[in-house]
Amino acid sequence: MLWGGRFKNKLDDDALNFSSSLKFDINLIYEDIEGSIAHTKMLAKVKLIKAAESKKIVAGLKQIRSEFENGKWKPSENKFEDIHSAIESRLFELIGETAGKLHTARSRNDQVATDLRLWIKKSCNEIINLISWLQKTLISISEKNTDTIIPGYTHLQRAQPISLAFHLLAYVEMLERDKKRFSFTLTEADQSPLGSGALAGSTLPLDRNFTTNELGFSEPTGNALDSVSDRDFTIDFLNGCAIGMMHLSRLSEEIIIWSTSEWNFIKLSDSFSTGSSLMPQKKNPDITELIRGKSGRVYGNYISLLTTMKSLPLSYNRDLQEDKESIFDSAFTFSSSLEMMKNLIASAKFNKERFKAELEGDFSMATDLAEWLVMKGIPFREAHSIVGKIVVILEEKGTNFKELTLEMLKEINPVFDEFALECLDITTALKRKKTYGSTNPQQVKKRIQFWKRKIPLS
């Protein structure tokens, strides 16, 4: 224990097991050792410990890191409260009483806050990289499908024809916003709390700028009280994970729908599908279903930490131990989901000709016909009503735009001419779109080139 001197009796074994965070904060081992090395070097620099003592402590810390990496040392959850006490105990075993000087002018409060910020920074960079790889995969598929026509939906009802490329690029846009959220979080976490002590700073001549630079932070935190109790950056991190999982869940849902025999649009690789224990014919999109399901867990982690934080007085409270399990679980879940989605969609096969015949004459061209009337000088609300009446008439006859003739159109409104029928041609539907950001293949190709410059396909 790091605090035993004030107590006559040791902590109850059950209380230790209840309070120990070692099983999950062992994820901070590398950051804890990194922070301790920087702190030790600083103590020697300001002459609070001797240079020889600093070298001895640093060598011991590096040995602990090596032992952990090689599987020669694994701290017991039944013996230690957390990774910090486990490392210090092992350091005493390796170098003796000199290890006691490591904790000079440092509290576990600023120690864990530093470790967590280092871990969040590292994880943000890793997640941003994984997001970029998924974006690259979607861009690569999009480049081959700028003319692949699929129905676009609102209210899960067919709305207007779009291209598969246009649809997938919508997810590239979403994922870019995810990257911005993690970039913000990375910047927010980029301050060093080390040297803040328990809550009020130190009477010792610490050099906080030195440890800030050693650990790669941009600056030290400005208020010790806030430094040890601030978890805003972790909440933003969980927010990024939650929104990111929501985006993956939406894509998963669409892949699940596309893979049904009713849609018959995508065929998933056997490597990312499972079967049924009863029905021999089944091929289930379980990976996408798991991603969709895991989103709820990540949402729960986000709400859990917000709830923990909502009534904590300044500064540090042990409640804050509950932040780490949520953070690690969300990070690992989101990272693995990104990896799975990238591999799954890269290996899938799309039925590129699936909807061409089916959408020919489909009512999803109704807006194009209404806009043709607008070009003829008819107010849009009137044009909307005219085309609506045409749809009703065709529905009553049990047909669609495919059976529409010029004579039928002129009976409804004499402004129609032979060119009106051209705007119902599905093969030219995408090309007729004119606006920036539309599904027009030329616009889509330009957007693909934009993304390829922004996220090089290496």
Residues carrying an active site annotation: 155, 276
Q: Select from 448, 228, 252 the least CA-distant residue to 342.
A: 252
- Are the C-beta atoms of 17 and 78 separated by less than 8 Å? yes
Q: Select from 197, 192, 3 the least CA-distant residue to 85.
A: 3
Q: Select from 80, 87, 114, 99 the least CA-distant residue to 29.
A: 87
Q: Which residue has the tokens 């979607």?
A: 138
Helix, strand or coil, per DSSP, at residue 425: coil
Cα 419 to Cα 427: distance, rounded to the nearest angstrom: 15
DSSP 72: S
- Are the C-beta atoms of 138 and 144 separated by less than 8 Å? no
DSSP 161: E
Structure tokens at 137: 């995969």
Residues 6+ apart with CB under 8 A from 191: 117, 217, 218, 219, 220, 221, 227
| Radius of gyration for the alpha carbons in the chain, expressed in angstroms and rounded | 30
Backbone angles phi, psi at 159, to 5 degrees: -115, -70
Cα 166 to Cα 143: distance, rounded to the nearest angstrom: 10
Structure tokens at 201: 């700073």
List, in sequence order, every residue forming a beta bridge with 151; answer none if it has no partner. Answer: 161
